[in-house]
């Protein structure tokens, strides 16, 4: 396993890319409402990235081994879609939930983040799933510090999700990121504390739990990309890119429009 550790120049580049990725979501937020199609959101995001930010949309034509090139600039996963949903011409409707996943490249560095959006008035169950998934991600982020292990992150996420009656998707995980979109290490969202790779300053990786309202089982659709829940239950995902610092962590994918951190995170910072 080859993990890249970023120096000050790399960290500075990752900070810029991470903020820009989050700003794409800020830009899209007011447009996510009933009647808009995910294709329209993709076109809006593409124009903003290329023409305003001067960034490259990393997903467009991305083709890992065994996959056809991804045809769009963003991923939009609606309702029971877990991840990698391809934007299309179907309009979003009141009550939908949608994950929008953004990865930009700026000066060779990747920034990767995603958020859940509620389309109009949604069910209490859908709102709870989105809120609890957001908190699960932050429970994982809070484990990040030098000397901790990747298993600590996965365990914190799994315990919180399952204690709240949800299930954790096992087949997809967070990943190292830098000049390469997906690099080592793999960051599982389940596991045992004290196991896995030791965290060291300079590591950058994503934490992006996929949490299902029903069972954890998933399947791939015929387009070769879109992943859905087998039982058609709702699924939610949030994602941040995180840096391991000498004393803890820094979230690199924050911007002015980012949702506020949960109260328990602020409390832990004050306690420290």
Task: Give average pLDDT by consecutive 10-residue segment, the chain, 272 residues.
Answer: 94 98 98 98 98 98 94 98 98 98 98 98 98 98 98 98 98 97 98 97 98 97 97 98 97 97 78 47
Report yes or no: 22 and 48 within 8 Å, Cβ to Cβ. Answer: no
Q: What residue has token string 């939610």?
A: 236
d(CA 222, CA 229): 14
Q: Is residue 132 part of a domain?
A: yes
Lookup: tokens for 232: 């058609």
Residue 185: cis peptide before it, omega within 30 degrees of 0: yes
State pLDDT tens for residues 140-156.
999 999 999 999 999 99
N- to C-terminal Cα distance for the chain? 33
Lookup: tokens for 59: 């997903």
State pLDDT tens for residues 154-172.
999 999 999 999 999 999 9
Range of the domain at 40: 8-271
The pLDDT value recorded for residue 66 is 87
CATH number at residue 45: 3.90.230.10
Q: Is residue 199 part of a domain?
A: yes
DSSP label at residue 257: T
How many CA within 13 A on the CB side of residue 106? 26
Q: What is the pTM (predicted TM-score) of this model? A: 0.96
Q: Is residue 3 part of a domain?
A: no
Residue 65 CB coordination number (10 Å)? 4
> How many structural domains comprise the chain?
1
- Helix intervals (H) in 142-224: 150-163
Q: Is residue 1 part of a domain?
A: no
Name the residue among 261, 256, 240 with its Cα closest to residue 113. 240
User: CB under 8 Å to 215, separation ≥6 — which residues?
Assistant: 167, 229, 230, 231, 233
Report yes or no: 29 and 257 within 8 Å, Cβ to Cβ. Answer: yes
Three-state secondary structure call for residue 141 = helix
Q: Is residue 232 part of a domain?
A: yes
Q: Is residue 178 part of a domain?
A: yes
Q: Is residue 150 part of a domain?
A: yes
User: Exposure of 176 by Cβ count < 10 A (0-12 exposed, 13-18 middle, 19+ buried)?
Assistant: buried
Q: Is residue 2 part of a domain?
A: no
Q: What residue has token string 């970023």?
A: 6
CA distances in angstroms from 215 to 179, 210, 218, listed in the order given = 35, 12, 8
The pLDDT value recorded for residue 272 is 45
């Amino acid at each position: 396993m080859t993990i890249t550790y970023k120096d000050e120049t790399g960290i500075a580049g990752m900070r810029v890319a991470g903020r820009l990725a989050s700003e794409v979501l800020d830009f899209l937020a007011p447009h996510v409402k009933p009647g808009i199609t995910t294709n329209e959101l993709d076109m809006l995001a593409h124009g903003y990235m290329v023409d305003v930010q001067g960034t490259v949309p990393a997903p467009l034509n991305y083709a890992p081994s065994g996959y056809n090139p991804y045809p769009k600039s963003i991923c939009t996963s609606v309702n029971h879609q877990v991840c990698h949903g391809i934007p299309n011409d179907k309009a979003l409707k009141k009550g939908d939930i949608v994950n929008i996943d953004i990865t930009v490249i700026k000066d060779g560095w990747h920034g990767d983040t995603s958020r859940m959006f509620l389309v109009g008035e949604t069910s209490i169950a859908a709102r709870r799933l989105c809120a609890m998934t957001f908190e699960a991600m932050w429970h994982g982020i809070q484990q990040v510090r030098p000397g901790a292990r990747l298993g600590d992150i996965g365990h914190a996420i799994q315990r919180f999700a399952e204690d709240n009656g949800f299930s954790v998707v096992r087949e997809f995980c967070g990943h190292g990121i830098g000049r390469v979109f997906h690099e080592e290490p793999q960051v599982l969202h389940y596991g045992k504390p004290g196991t896995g790779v030791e965290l060291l300053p300079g590591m950058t990786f994503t934490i992006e739990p996929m949490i299902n309202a029903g069972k954890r089982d998933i399947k791939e659709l015929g387009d070769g990309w879109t992943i859905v829940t087998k039982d058609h239950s709702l699924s939610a995902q949030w994602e941040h890119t995180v840096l391991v610092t000498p004393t803890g962590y820094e979230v690199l994918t924050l911007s002015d429009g980012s949702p506020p951190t949960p109260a328990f995170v602020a409390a832990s910072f004050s306690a420290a």
